[in-house]
């Protein structure tokens, strides 16, 4: 959802901000804007609803060459996506009979819950609101505090916390209820940006004589080699050369400056037409990365560095709850099959949006895993907080380093899949499944799984990247299958056992990016309703590799064929029985049942991708969707 970029240094800020906003486009947005200072220190704003290209043309037409500025991509919550509601918002009040003098501009991510009350108070003091957003209240509130801070006489001190601009921001923050990632640019202060975070991420990129501020690290790639993750309740006072951090309760804190391991290539297309296709093809490598350093052949188990639980706590676990949203929830379902089969631990999978309000009885030995690519999904975060509040250990399976969920969980496991920019999740899904397989191995070996079984499990995992690479070779064939079915208006996706969650995921991929209605079902359940949809125009995608339930799925496939439904089968190499029955067959290499979800996901991702491209859809930025959903 919304994105923030800011710059203070020596280069032309507007260009860097537009480039940074482009890298944040993947989060989803409906308007964009920026503010810089002119030669006289006055604030100049350009903003426009719609795609970033509109803002770019405004910037090309005219914008000062300032070396300081802030920018934003907005995903509307309060107020429609219009030019006026786009950020930045200006703070300033007209004294009676005078024009408004704007003292500052802000960009804001998050939601201000008490904005109505604050707005009424500010209006009573003469502030005129120009937008319907909750964010504008923050701009006027800081202006109001600044007027008071300046009126009491600026204290001349080296301590930035004492400067009226910082005092004003901190006083305003104290009045806000809700969440914010906030960046403030002040008129007449070409050397100062103030950033603040509560519940909405902000990072600072540290360069030589320049600083970058952003809502995630992607705008920093290629520009800064060091990064600081702001924590909740921190305010950063940023000039081109200095970075001071003040914590609401702890006072001044030393920034923890980490190396930024993200290159410009990581956030570029690398010759692919879309990020989604690039990310699909990265999977042999991202799967390897998810396993790297985590397999111990000697002990025939998995090794994790960041669970932060004592052996006694781990031994005590008697139930696991897996939660997440969207694709991450599908990975959780795969995890349920894996952990129950190999660790013999009862697993419950719950949508995070339901778990947070359901108040289920949970006993002491329950361990929660929040599964999330972004680490920012509001519902997943709320579910994690709820279980944490009740005293349960909470762990995250997460891709984005330094994200809110990664920070708030007691411990966790990173996917190390690199930035996932296509809105429809692909490589994160397979990495999540790999990490869940590692957990099944780990808990299995803590309990009853034998050394030999552990070794065999590891050997199978180690073959996985090659199997995925082989599955990707079907890309040209899948494109031709996509040509054939691109005009269908409904698809069914059917699979059993380990392949049932993949059927759900395949259907979700198609819905998300091609806008075709699709449903995933356990193959046998199809006869309890969805079979009524079957006709010669409704294709069914069958996941039917050789394995424990192969014969059963063949029966289900025959039931569809008997009703003249076209069948696309994802099957094992050389399966003549399937070839006789199905209209189209996409072969995937053989894998043990428990790893099939990862291999089978590949053709489904490619099928959705090609159908969407053939239908002219914007696959990386599908309509109405956001990459990380930071509102409830």
Question: Which residues are annotated as catalytic?
Answer: 2, 627
What is the smallest separation between the CB atom of 263 and ligand G6P, expressed in angstroms?
22
What is the smallest separation between the CB atom of 293 and ligand G6P, expressed in angstroms?
23
Out of 9, 219, 326, 520, point to the residue binding ligand G6P (CB under 6 A). 326
What is the smallest separation between the CB atom of 550 and ligand G6P, expressed in angstroms?
29
* Region 127-166 residues binding ligand G6P, contact defined as CB under 6 A: none
* Region 162-221 residues binding ligand G6P, contact defined as CB under 6 A: none
C-alpha span between 239 and 196 (Å, rounded): 15
Helix (H) or strand (E) holding 204: strand 203-206
Q: Which is nearer to ligand G6P, 18 or 334 (CB)?
A: 334
Q: Residue 424, interface with ligand G6P (CB under 6 A)?
A: yes
Q: Which is nearer to ligand G6P, 202 or 381 (CB)?
A: 381
C-alpha span between 311 and 291 (Å, rounded): 22
Q: Residue 625, interface with ligand G6P (CB under 6 A)?
A: yes
What is the smallest separation between the CB atom of 372 and ligand G6P, expressed in angstroms?
3
Q: Which is nearer to ligand G6P, 63 or 401 (CB)?
A: 401
Cα–Cα distance list, 588 to 477, 567, 581, 602, 606 (Å): 12, 16, 17, 9, 13
- Under 8 Å between Cβ of 33 and 15: no
Torsion of CA 326, 332, 337, 339, to 10 degrees: 180
Binding region for ligand G6P (CB under 6 A) out of 205-213, 246-254, 305-313, 366-374: 366-374
Q: Which is nearer to ligand G6P, 47 or 74 (CB)?
A: 74
Q: Which is nearer to ligand G6P, 72 or 627 (CB)?
A: 627
- Under 8 Å between Cβ of 598 and 430: yes
CA 202 to chain centre: 14
Binding region for ligand G6P (CB under 6 A) out of 3-11, 295-303, 323-331, 608-616: 323-331
DSSP for 112-124 reads BTTHHHHHHHHHH
Give phi and psi for 591, each to the nearest 5: -145, 155
Q: Which is nearer to ligand G6P, 127 or 329 (CB)?
A: 329
Which tokens is 247 given? Answer: 């914590």
What is the smallest separation between the CB atom of 8 and ligand G6P, expressed in angstroms?
30
- Under 8 Å between Cβ of 397 and 369: yes
Q: How many residues bind ligand G6P (CB under 6 A)?
A: 17
Out of 131, 425, 431, 497, point to the residue binding ligand G6P (CB under 6 A). 425
Helix (H, G, I), strand (E, B) or coil at 208: coil
What is the smallest separation between the CB atom of 96 and ligand G6P, expressed in angstroms?
48
Q: Residue 88, interface with ligand G6P (CB under 6 A)?
A: no
Q: Residue 629, interface with ligand G6P (CB under 6 A)?
A: yes
- Under 8 Å between Cβ of 105 and 194: no
Residue 565 burial by CB count (10 A; 0-12/13-18/19+): exposed, middle or buried? buried
Q: Which is nearer to ligand G6P, 139 or 516 (CB)?
A: 516
Q: Residue 372, interface with ligand G6P (CB under 6 A)?
A: yes
Crossing angle for the helix pair 427-446 and 326-343, nearest 10 degrees?
A: 20
Out of 109, 133, 218, 373, point to the residue binding ligand G6P (CB under 6 A). 373
In 10 A of CB 135, how many CB atoms?
Answer: 27
C-alpha span between 59 and 33 (Å, rounded): 10
What is the smallest separation between the CB atom of 628 and ligand G6P, expressed in angstroms?
5
C-alpha span between 77 and 326 (Å, rounded): 20
| Radius of gyration, CA atoms only, the chain | 26
Using Cβ positions, the residue closest to ligand G6P within the complex turns out to be 326
Out of 131, 200, 239, 374, point to the residue binding ligand G6P (CB under 6 A). 374
What is the smallest separation between the CB atom of 508 and ligand G6P, expressed in angstroms?
8
459 contact partners, CB below 8 Å, separation of at least 6: none
x/- mask, ligand G6P, residues 382-421, rule CB under 6 A, reads: ----------------------------------------
Q: Which is nearer to ligand G6P, 46 or 627 (CB)?
A: 627
Q: Residue 628, interface with ligand G6P (CB under 6 A)?
A: yes
C-alpha span between 395 and 322 (Å, rounded): 10
Phi-psi region of 199 (alpha: psi -120 to 50; beta: other; left: phi over 0): left
What is the smallest separation between the CB atom of 4 and ligand G6P, expressed in angstroms?
18
C-alpha span between 416 and 434 (Å, rounded): 12
Q: Which is nearer to ligand G6P, 235 or 384 (CB)?
A: 384
Out of 103, 200, 217, 328, point to the residue binding ligand G6P (CB under 6 A). 328
Out of 377, 394, 426, 596, point to the residue binding ligand G6P (CB under 6 A). 377
Binding site for ligand G6P (CB under 6 A): 324-328, 372-374, 377, 380, 423-425, 625, 627-629
């Amino acid at each position: 959802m919304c994105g923030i970029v800011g710059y203070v240094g020596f280069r032309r800020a507007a260009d860097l901000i537009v480039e940074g906003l482009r890298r944040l486009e993947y989060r989803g947005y409906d308007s964009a804007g920026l503010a810089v200072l002119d030669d006289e220190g006055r604030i100049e704003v350009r903003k426009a609803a719609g795609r970033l290209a509109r803002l770019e043309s405004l910037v090309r037409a005219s914008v000062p060459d300032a070396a300081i500025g802030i920018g934003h991509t907005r995903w509307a919550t309060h107020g429609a996506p219009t030019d006026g509601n786009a950020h930045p918002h200006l703070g300033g009040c007209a004294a009676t009979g005078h024009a408004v003098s704007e003292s500052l501009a802000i960009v804001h991510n998050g939601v201000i819950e008490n904005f109505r009350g604050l707005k009424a108070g500010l209006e009573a003091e003469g502030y005129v609101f120009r937008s319907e957003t909750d964010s504008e209240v923050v701009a006027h509130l800081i202006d109001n505090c600044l007027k008071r801070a300046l009126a009491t006489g600026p204290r001349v001190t080296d301590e930035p916390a004492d400067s009226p601009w910082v005092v004003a921001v901190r006083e305003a923050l104290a009045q806000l209820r809700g969440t914010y990632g906030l960046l403030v640019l002040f008129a007449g202060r070409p050397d100062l940006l103030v950033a603040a975070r509560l519940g909405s991420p902000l990072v600072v990129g540290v360069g030589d004589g320049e600083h970058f501020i952003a809502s995630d690290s992607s705008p920093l790639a290629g520009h800064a080699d060091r990064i600081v993750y702001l924590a909740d309740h921190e305010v950063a006072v940023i000039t081109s050369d200095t970075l001071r951090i003040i914590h609401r309760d702890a006072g001044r804190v030393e920034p923890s400056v980490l190396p930024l391991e993200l290159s410009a290539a990581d956030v570029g297309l690398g010759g692919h037409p879309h990020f989604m296709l690039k990310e699909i093809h990265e999977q042999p490598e991202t799967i390897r990365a998810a396993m790297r350093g985590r397999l111990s052949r000697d002990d025939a188990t998995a090794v994790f560095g960041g669970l932060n639980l004592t052996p006694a706590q781990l031994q005590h676990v008697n139930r696991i709850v897996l939660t997440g949203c969207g694709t991450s929830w599908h990975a959780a379902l795969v995890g349920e099959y894996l952990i129950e089969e190999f660790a013999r631990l009862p697993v419950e999978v719950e949508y995070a949006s339901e778990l947070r309000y359901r108040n289920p009885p949970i006993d002491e030995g329950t361990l929660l895993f929040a599964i999330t690519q972004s680490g920012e999904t509001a519902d997943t975060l709320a579910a994690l907080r709820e279980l944490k509040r009740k005293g349960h250990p909470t762990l995250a399976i997460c891709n984005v380093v330094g994200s809110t969920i990664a920070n708030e969980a007691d411990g966790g496991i990173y996917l190390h899949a690199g930035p996932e920019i296509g809105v429809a999740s692909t490589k994160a899904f397979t990495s999540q499944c790999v990490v869940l397989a590692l957990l099944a191995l780990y808990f299995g070996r803590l309990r009853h799984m034998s050394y030999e079984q552990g070794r065999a499990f590891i050997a199978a995992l180690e073959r996985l990247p090659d199997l995925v690479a082989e599955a990707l070779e079907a890309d040209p064939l899948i494109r031709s299958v996509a040509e054939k079915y691109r005009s269908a208006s409904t698809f069914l996706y059917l699979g059993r056992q380990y392949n049932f969650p993949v059927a759900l995921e395949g259907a979700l991929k198609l819905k998300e990016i091609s806008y075709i209605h699709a449903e995933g079902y356990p193959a046998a359940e199809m006869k309890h309703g969805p079979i009524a949809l079957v006709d010669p125009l409704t294709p069914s995608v069958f996941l039917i590799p050789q394995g424990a339930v192969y014969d059963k799925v063949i029966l289900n496939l025959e039931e569809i064929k008997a009703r003249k439904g076209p069948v696309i089968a994802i099957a094992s190499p050389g399966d003549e029985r399937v070839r006789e029955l199905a209209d189209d067959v996409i072969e995937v290499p053989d894998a043990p049942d428990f790893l099939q979800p990862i291999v089978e996901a590949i053709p489904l991702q490619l099928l959705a991708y090609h159908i969407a491209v053939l239908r002219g859809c914007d696959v990386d930025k599908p309509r109405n969707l956001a990459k990380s959903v930071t509102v409830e």
